[in-house]
Amino acid sequence: MRLRELRGVIPPIATPFAEDGELDHQSLARLTEHLIRGGVHGIFCLGSTGECAALTDAERKTIVETVVEINAGRVPILAGITETSTKRALALGRIVVEAGADAVVVAPPFYHMNSQGELLNYYRTLAKDLTVPIIAYHVPALVKTPLDPTTVEVLATEGTIMALKDSGGDSNVLREYLMRTRDVPGFTVLTGMEFLVDTAIQMGAHGSVPGIGNVVPGEYVRLYELSVQGKYKEARELQERLIKLFDICYQGSAQISGSASALSGFKSALRWLGVIETAKMAPPMGSLTLEEEEKVREILVDLGFLES
C-alpha cells in the first residue's frame, strides 16, 4: 500500500498487557478488529496511547507485525518512531518498515532540545533513508521541542513529509499549520486534540488521531462524518458527549495532573467492553484498582456505551 494522502479517523492503538506484564497478542488482535469494524480510516501503532516510550524494540516489532497481520491490508498502518537521535529513529524505522508499516510518525527527538534547522536536517535524513512516507508529529509537551509552522511548511512543500499530526493543544498554531500548507497538494493535517475534533475540522483539518477512539471508534468516525458534512450542531452534540466519556481517565493515580496512568482508563473501558483482558500499564505507570475500574464501568453505562 503506497500512501498518498491521510484523512479521517486514525486511532493510536493501545498496547494490551497480560497479568504477568507480557504483551497480550490475542487482545491486540481483537482491538485491531474492533477498530476496523468501527470504520476507522487507519491505525497508528506505537503512539503515546500505545505507551511507545515504555516498550522494547522487540515489543514494538511484534505490535506492528500483529496489527499488520490482522488488518490484512484493509486500512493504512502507521508506526511511531519518535526517538532520541537520528541513528535511533532510523534503526526503529527500519524495524517497523520490515514489520509492515505503511508510514512512520515522527516527533522531534526528545531529551535534548533541537533548533528548527536541526529538525529540517532530521526529517530530511529520515525521508532519504526510509522507504515509506513520513508524518511529522507536533507534541511539545512530551518531547520539549516544538515544530514551528514555518518548518512544517518547508518540509511539506519540498515533499519530505506527507502529513502532520498536531497534539500541541493550541488552536492558533493549528490554524497556522493549516494556512501554511493549504496549497500543498495532498498534504493533510490531523488533530490529536480530542476535545476539539469538530472545531478542528471546521478550521480545515483533515481528520483526527483520538486516543479514546480505541474505546468508541464508531463514534469518532461519526463525528468526523458529521463535521465534514457541515452538520455542526449534531457534531457539537456528539463531541460534547465524547468529552464526558473522558471521565474514565480521571480515576486513581490518573487524577494527578500529568499522570500517564490516565491511559489505564482507556484500557479499563476496553476490558468492560470485552475487547481486551486487563487494564495493565507498562511500569512504572500505574494501573487502576478494581474499585476504580468499577467507576469506569458506571461511566460507560451512564453514557449508554455499555448495558448495565
Q: Out of 165, 267, 280, 295, which one is annotated catalytic?
A: 165
* DSSP one-letter string for 162-184: SEEEE-S--HHHHHHHHHHHTTS
Residue partners of 231: CB distance under 8 A and separation at least 6: none
Q: Minimal CA–CA distance to 79: which of 189, 71, 222?
A: 71
| Angle between helix 86-99 and helix 57-71 axes, rounded to 10 deg | 30
Kindly state the DSSP code that residue 290 receives in the 8-state scheme. Answer: H
**CA–CA dist 122, 114 (Å, integer):** 10
* Triad 19, 20, 25: Cα angle to 5°: 75
Side chain identity, residue 34: H
**CA–CA dist 54, 186 (Å, integer):** 33
What spatial distance separates the first Cα and last Cα of the chain, rounded to whole Å?
A: 42
- Is 184 in contact with 157 (CB distance < 8 Å)? yes
**CA–CA dist 250, 252 (Å, integer):** 7
HSE of 275, CA atoms in CB hemisphere, 13 A: 27
> In the annotation, is 165 catalytic?
yes
3-class SS of residue 197: helix
Question: What grid cell was written down for 220?
Answer: 469518532
Which of the residues are catalytic? 165
